[in-house]
Structure 1
Amino acid sequence: MSLGNYAQAQLNAHFTTFEDFGSKAPNKSEFKAWRNESVILPFLIYSDSTKGLDFQLKVEGKNVKAELIQLHLVEGDISAGNCGNAKKNGTFVKDFFPDRAETLQGNSFTVESAITYGLVKIQIPEKLKPGSYPVELTFDQNGDSQKIEATIKVIDQKLPDFSELDFEMDFWQFPQSISTYYDFKPFSEEHWEQMGLMFEQLKVLNQTVVTTSVFYDLFNTKIKPVEQMMIQVRKKADGSYSYDYSTFERYVELAASKGVSKEIAVHNLYPWNQTYFYFDETAGEVKTFKSAPGTDEYNAFWKPFLLDFASYLKAKNWMDKAVFWVDERDMNKTAELVKYVKGIDPAFKFGYSGRFSPALSELVYDYSLASNIVLDPDKLALRKSKGFKTTYYTSCYEVQPNMLMASNYGDIYFLLMLSRAKGYDGMLRWAFNLWSSKIMKSAIFSDLPSGDSHFVYPDAQVSLRYLILKDALEEVQKADVKAKSPKSSAKTKELLKAYNRYFLLNNESERNKMVSIMNKYLND
């Protein structure tokens, strides 16, 4: 969401809203909340001075916890809908977006431009009495002072514990990106520590899936040392293969220790570049070959792995959790691959992201559809009857609604509620932390729109979109509570049905109205 450039002759500040980010909310505006929810109030500070900006925060209410978050500007482009060569061959508008979120430990902001962005994050205790609780935020800079006020009206509704939310997020993780950014040796102790933090950040968003790969990462664009493979594949002198699962095992167990343990997504059986890796012990080097699924060469390579992997998973009691993932590949070839793999062991499961195929749907346990696909209710009901999981995703191809840095913030609320309205199990995003070396300052990529490849930053910082996503998940919880109440069930279902109106996907103003109507209803 572009905010352009601001200039101000003196210190000034105001609260704003995500629905109309940047606009001035009236002083002492009222924001409604449930007990046991987390509230985020955005604000803007204008100043023509670059000197330090101190603050004091006061929030009334016993046991109410509050913190200040500064939103740092990150350079990005406005290129939604353009990927790959379409992005490389085009020139797009660039701007700075308040996306990188730093929780402040002291009582001062870093002034980076004429406008400083921040959030007040407030955790409402579950036993707090309903009522109005003032919020007061005072800024001081160079002898100038400015105070802004708001009121949190806590209504007589209690949000269930977040752990009870029946809505699964699936962000694909890129652990190699972490080691590259920090220049850590892959799978060193420093790297493991950062991956643990990654899983903690994922758990906050109700992540249920740990992303793994047979080789290096989801896309395997170049040869790396065999020690960097998540599963070390070695070819012996006699032509047989051996497999070292120690890194894979530690990674999965680390995720589980942080609460990310429902599904183990395994990539690389059918990657985009159809390239596969192994360490040739005779040659003493990593070698590759290319092959499409179904060929003799492909089957000769993968069959011994599948047999060995099945044995390993069963010994670890992980067979029911493991899911081989295929991303937007040919549906017919994917169906044949599933049949081939299940012919080796019927217990293997598959996940697929892409267009809908009734035939593939019969075979795929975890199916994620593009957000603009309309799945017939009877087909969804059939998947549910089999105990299958269905989600949807947005990618760089969706111009709107999306979750890019330049997207409307209200679209995050819209997309999550749309998944609930569709009757899906959650939502998928392809990249949680695929970073460039300049990611703290710039999110411009040659082949992706800004924000498509990351939701968190290095140094334990998250994004504004991450924080809004958590807030939007709590809105889904509220809808679930109201849908179960005899007094509000019918109205809740009526509003959810309204989310499915197809024209909303291409009409930003109408989406904003829908989000506003639902928000007002949930917080009355």
Structure 2
Amino acid sequence: MKNKIIVFCCCILIYGITHAQQFKGQMNIAAVPAPNMHYQEEYTFDKPVDPAKWNSQTAGMHVSFGSTDKLYFRTEVPDLDKQASTWKETGWKGERLNAQLLVWSPDTIQQVRLKCNDLKHSNGKVIGKNNIKVNMVRYVVSNYPYGVKDATCGESPYKNAYLMPDRFEAFDRFEIPGKTVRPIWISVDVPADAEAGIYSGDIEVLSEKSRSVLTIKLKIQNQVLPKPGEWKHRFDLWQNPWVVAWYNRIEPWSEEHKVMLEKHLKLYADAGGKFITTYAVHSPWSDNSYMIEGTMIEWIKQNNGAWKFDYKIFDEYVELAMKAGINDAITVYTLLPWGNRFRYMEEATGNYVYEVWPPESKEFKSFWHTFLTDLEKHLQQKGWFEKTYLGINENEMKQTLAAIKVVKEHPAKWKITYAGNWHTELDTLLDDYCFLYGNESNQQQVKARSARGATTTYYVCCNPPVPNNFVFSPPIEGRWISWYSAAFGYDGFLRWAYDAWPADPSRDARHTLWPAGDCFLVYPGGASGIRFEKLREGIVDFEKIRIIRALASKSTDKTVKNLLKQLDQHMKVFVPERAFDEKKIAKDVQKGNDLIEQLSDKLASNEMVFK
């Protein structure tokens, strides 16, 4: 993405050890080694932000439901209007419903654990406790404090380090040190064949010396959410499979690596992931990651000067992704690697050779016509050609147009996807166009693209500061992103990246160049987190909006027509949004969901049900 393709050389800059200061009441770290230092860090935590608040808390374990739209910090008494012992939620069959449970205490509590019980309908039907998942929310280190609106590409101007809750971790039991908080994420996957109605149950929070019981009340509506593989939202997270091998210190493309990749990709597939990221060039983004993206297609220059291509890794990765459930599109990056640098192997010596071929050059045209002919043949044999896109990231317009010209001159009807700012001259040349938020076309141009069968999405990266998916971003921004997609008329959302991990992502989300969490949304071991789940919630909202609008447009019921009109009117509040007040956008999303719930019930009462 723009400003992300930055050449940096030799070694990664070492951060100085900083003394933490309190910022807006967040938990800071007094001494944090650089993210690239490979030794056991010793974290020293500051004193609580407001000792008076902790001193006012009664002894023992405190438990309450909080909001999934905000973050709760490790040494702050939770900011709650009032403690809530009941979680009420409405959803569809097949939907995942999320809650955030907070456990805190002024004194140390041992052996905290949760016991989930079945959720029961009044008629005896049950949503079994096996459908309820609980995860401890772990804290990771950020280079920005919570909710800032001045994050930028490049090094952070903030010199402190901040703990942000994000990473999920399964648990049996845990300890709560005195004057600390532990968020717990609760997810209920409603079975697609559940009976509509009200389900009630409870969760017991136990410790060595206490027991708290909280209530769950779910209203399941008589509408069915399709499976993630059937969602229409075009969710595109760029993947780097080498990073999984690197982090786990195993041989790339070994059987052990592929087993890990299956679990790793399943998380993306279950969130509606549509695009498989593949690489036809080695290190397309200028060695800008802790583990660079390697080529999946080996280029071999034979002794007679002819080219040969090895698709082994490419095929293995595409097949792994498809097995996980990612089936809609394959993107092959890229005709324009940074610096126009290309690598191939000499058959005679076994050495790698690096060449610079500008897209206007005869060498570029000659090679890419040869390669595209071979690639087309291979894709046709595999049955993948129709779903394959040639990917181009943002480059100078002269180079971009030259590369596209080479593709268009090839006999095959290649599809091209491009991520970058809106440029009128690219519009009709691209089958899939992804704009950087804030550098977009207008809605009429998006509609025109849709009318001719082209797709359009948008993305955020290390900019803009908001909306975004940094570890310090208010979680509601992740959900808001897909409301914006639906309101603007986009087909989906793209993000670099799914998994471009820094050195120690499970504990330290910072990168030497970019805002914490910018480069990844999921964690090692196929672990999700708050940011990823909030993105998923928004994608579910996108699907429900699409389905409800389609059903309601066929209804003659006056109430339905009026509610649909209200929903359409409400969607307009998402388009001009630029201020990004956390509370306002949360209210906007909630109002939209209230209208969807009303429409869902009214349509179901008229026997207009999506199944």
Structure-2 separation of matches of 1:160 and 1:300? 46
Question: Aligned match of 2:543 in 463, 477, 481?
Answer: 477
Residue of structure 2 in register with 1:520 after alignment: 594
Alignment of 1:104-253 (within 5 A): 104=171, 106=172, 108-109=173-174, 111=176, 114-219=180-285, 221=287, 229-253=295-319
1:103 alignment partner AA: A
Following superposition, the deviation at residue 99 of structure 1 comes to: 0.8
- Relative to structure 2, which stretch is displaced further, 27-36 or 176-185? 27-36
1:37 aligns with 2:92: no
Cα distance change, pair 296–155 in 1 and its aligned pair in 2 (3 A): closer
Structure-2 separation of matches of 1:448 and 1:411? 19
1:302 aligns with 2:368: yes
Following superposition, the deviation at residue 445 of structure 1 comes to: 0.6
Question: Aligned match of 2:168 in 101, 105, 120?
Answer: 101
Match of 1:503, SS state, is: coil
Residue of structure 1 in register with 2:66 after alignment: 16
Question: Aligned match of 1:439 in 491, 505, 521?
Answer: 505
Match of 1:449, SS state, is: coil
- Relative to structure 2, which stretch is displaced further, 337-346 or 263-272? 337-346
Does the 8 Å CA contact 1:15/1:44 hold for their aligned counterparts? yes
Residue of structure 2 in register with 1:498 after alignment: 573
Question: Aligned match of 1:54 in 94, 110, 113?
Answer: 113
Cα distance change, pair 321–80 in 1 and its aligned pair in 2 (3 A): farther
Structure-1 separation of matches of 2:84 and 2:240? 43
Structure-1 separation of matches of 2:529 and 2:258? 22
2:100 alignment partner AA: P
1:26 aligns with 2:93: no
1:468 alignment partner AA: K
Does the 8 Å CA contact 1:81/1:396 hold for their aligned counterparts? no
1:322 aligns with 2:388: yes
2:370 alignment partner AA: P
Residue of structure 1 in register with 2:355 after alignment: 289
Match of 1:453, SS state, is: coil
Question: Cα deviation per residue 1:305-325 (whole Å; 9 max; x = unaligned)?
Answer: 222222222333322222111
Structure-1 separation of matches of 2:508 and 2:571? 37
Q: Which runs of 5+ in 1 are unaligned?
A: none
- Relative to structure 2, which stretch is displaced further, 50-59 or 342-351? 50-59
Structure-1 separation of matches of 2:482 and 2:382? 34
Q: State the TM-score, normalizing by the size of structure 2.
A: 0.79
Structure-1 separation of matches of 2:149 and 2:283? 25
1:489 alignment partner AA: L
1:510 aligns with 2:584: yes
1:87 aligns with 2:155: yes
Question: Aligned match of 1:4 in 26, 30, 33?
Answer: 26
1:63 aligns with 2:127: yes
Does the 8 Å CA contact 1:14/1:45 hold for their aligned counterparts? yes
Match of 1:326, SS state, is: strand
Structure-2 separation of matches of 1:263 and 1:3? 45
Structure-1 separation of matches of 2:389 and 2:534? 29
Structure-1 separation of matches of 2:174 and 2:596? 34
Instruction: State the identity %.
Output: 22
Residue of structure 1 in register with 2:8 after alignment: none
Cα distance change, pair 505–320 in 1 and its aligned pair in 2 (3 A): farther
Structure-1 separation of matches of 2:324 and 2:571? 33
Cα distance change, pair 216–13 in 1 and its aligned pair in 2 (3 A): farther
- Relative to structure 2, which stretch is displaced further, 440-449 or 483-492? 483-492
- Relative to structure 2, which stretch is displaced further, 57-66 or 154-163? 154-163
Cα distance change, pair 442–389 in 1 and its aligned pair in 2 (3 A): same
Following superposition, the deviation at residue 33 of structure 1 comes to: 2.6
Structure-1 separation of matches of 2:416 and 2:297? 19
Q: Which runs of 5+ in 2 are unaligned?
A: 1-22, 28-47, 49-53, 73-78, 121-125, 599-611
Following superposition, the deviation at residue 171 of structure 1 comes to: 0.5
Question: Cα deviation per residue 1:482-524 (whole Å; 9 max; x = unaligned)?
Answer: 3221313322222222221x23454444322211211232234
Residue of structure 2 in register with 1:412 after alignment: 478
Structure-2 separation of matches of 1:219 and 1:499? 33
Cα distance change, pair 160–348 in 1 and its aligned pair in 2 (3 A): closer
Match of 2:370, SS state, is: helix
Structure-2 separation of matches of 1:468 and 1:117? 15
